[in-house]
């Protein structure tokens, strides 16, 4: 009997599997459990012309600021304590993202579910009578083939499938084969991202033996199956500066520095030079030095 395949790789290995023009889904939720080490690896690469699908946070902001996004599909882009992600805000105001699709949060989920089930669309009521339909004239409606109790055939929104070429998600723990678990309060929709994608890559705080996955977490928190996963990367602190509860919470001091730098071109140049132009190890060392300065 053959053993499950060892799927360990580096962040740069993952980015080497991506191509210009791909549709990439980024898991997590706003400033929570984002695969930021992979986002930083994309910034170090020459990847461009991307379609990005995300419940967005700094992942969207950084890639928008760098001019890597051709099309953005999103329900919101927020840092929570900074309500509107500042780099995203500038990109929208300056219209530097060529194409945007803004969906209701439920519609966004339905689009991922449709792709996960290999359906062209899923029907739902969300969006009817709202400006979501006005701002996205490409959205269509369908008529239910089944009458309601009053005999009326209901009109519904046909939410198109959000099919992904690749999904990038971050989890607390994974084994070498791609099984992965979350330890925090919420799975978000990382499993849907993986199932909606042709390829899925998981980063995690720590790669452990398969048996150890259930020592820290209940079985139902084994969210990602190896059957969904093409590669797994151990990236300690890899969701920084977003949360990865219970391993760490959001780095509010760093987030404030990020938001302040985003407002000023010269400050952003200094921020980018200090934190974003080196390797991931360079980034983590720079973050550590930043906090030592704050505490001095």
> What is the per-residue pLDDT across 132-159, written as a single tens digit (0 to 9) for each?
999 999 999 999 999 988 999 999 999 9
> What is the per-residue pLDDT across 201-215, written as a single tens digit (0 to 9) for each?
999 999 999 988 877
* Rounded Cα–Cα distance for residues 154 and 290 (Å): 57
Pairing of strands 180-181, 164-174: antiparallel
* Residue 222 confidence class, pLDDT cut points 50, 70, 90: confident
The yes-or-no verdict on residue 220 having pLDDT over 70 is no
The maximal CA–CA distance of the chain, rounded, in angstroms, is 72
The pLDDT score that the predictor gives to residue 26 is 98
C-alpha distances out from residue 41 to 10, 17, 141, 239, Å: 10, 12, 39, 12
* DSSP H or E stretch at residue 42: helix 36-44
- Residue the block writes with tokens 């509107």: 84
* Residue 9 confidence class, pLDDT cut points 50, 70, 90: very high
* Rounded Cα–Cα distance for residues 45 and 26 (Å): 17
The pLDDT score that the predictor gives to residue 2 is 65
* Residue 217 confidence class, pLDDT cut points 50, 70, 90: low
Domain over 11-104+162-253 is classified CATH 1.20.58.100: no
Domain ranges of the chain: 11-104+162-253, 121-160
Residue 200: both structure tokens together: 């899925």
First to last CA, the chain: 58
> What is the per-residue pLDDT across 15-62, written as a single tens digit (0 to 9) for each?
999 999 999 999 999 999 999 999 999 999 999 999 999 999 999 999
Q: How many residues does the chain have?
A: 296
> What is the per-residue pLDDT across 223-281, written as a single tens digit (0 to 9) for each?
899 999 999 999 999 999 999 999 999 999 999 999 999 999 999 999 999 999 999 99
Average pLDDT over residues 75-90: 96
Average pLDDT over residues 121-135: 93
Q: Rounding to the nearest 10 degrees, give the CA dihedral for residues 229, 233, 235, 238.
A: -40
């Amino acid at each position: 009997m053959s053993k499950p395949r060892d799927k360990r790789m580096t962040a740069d290995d993952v980015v080497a599997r991506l191509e210009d023009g791909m549709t990439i889904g980024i898991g997590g939720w706003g400033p929570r459990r984002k695969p930021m080490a992979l986002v930083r690896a994309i910034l170090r690469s020459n990847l461009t012309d991307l379609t990005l699908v995300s419940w967005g946070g700094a992942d969207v902001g950084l890639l928008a600021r760098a001019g890597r996004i051709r099309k953005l599909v999103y329900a919101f882009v927020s840092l929570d304590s900074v309500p509107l992600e500042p780099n995203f805000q500038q990109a929208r105001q300056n219209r530097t993202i060529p194409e945007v699709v803004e969906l209701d949060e439920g519609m966004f989920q339905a689009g991922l579910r449709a792709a996960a089930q290999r359906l062209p669309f899923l029907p739902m009521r969300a969006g009817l009578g709202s400006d979501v339909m006005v701002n996205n004239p490409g959205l269509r409606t369908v008529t239910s083939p089944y009458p309601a109790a009053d005999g009326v055939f209901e009109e519904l929104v046909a939410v198109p499938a959000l099919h992904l070429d690749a999904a990038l998600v971050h989890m607390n723990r994974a084994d070498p084969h791609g099984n992965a678990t979350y330890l925090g309060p919420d799975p978000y929709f990382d499993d849907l991202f993986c199932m909606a994608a042709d390829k899925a890559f998981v980063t995690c705080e720590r790669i452990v033996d398969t048996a150890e996955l259930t020592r820290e977490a209940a079985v139902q928190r084994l969210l990602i199956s190896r059957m969904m996963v093409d590669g797994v990367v151990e990236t300690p602190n890899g969701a920084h500066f977003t949360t990865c509860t219970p391993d760490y919470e959001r780095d509010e001091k760093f987030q404030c520095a990020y938001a302040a730098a985003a407002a000023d071109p010269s400050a952003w140049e200094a921020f980018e030079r200090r934190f974003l132009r080196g390797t991931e190890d360079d980034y983590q060392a720079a973050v550590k030095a930043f906090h030592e300065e704050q505490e001095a």
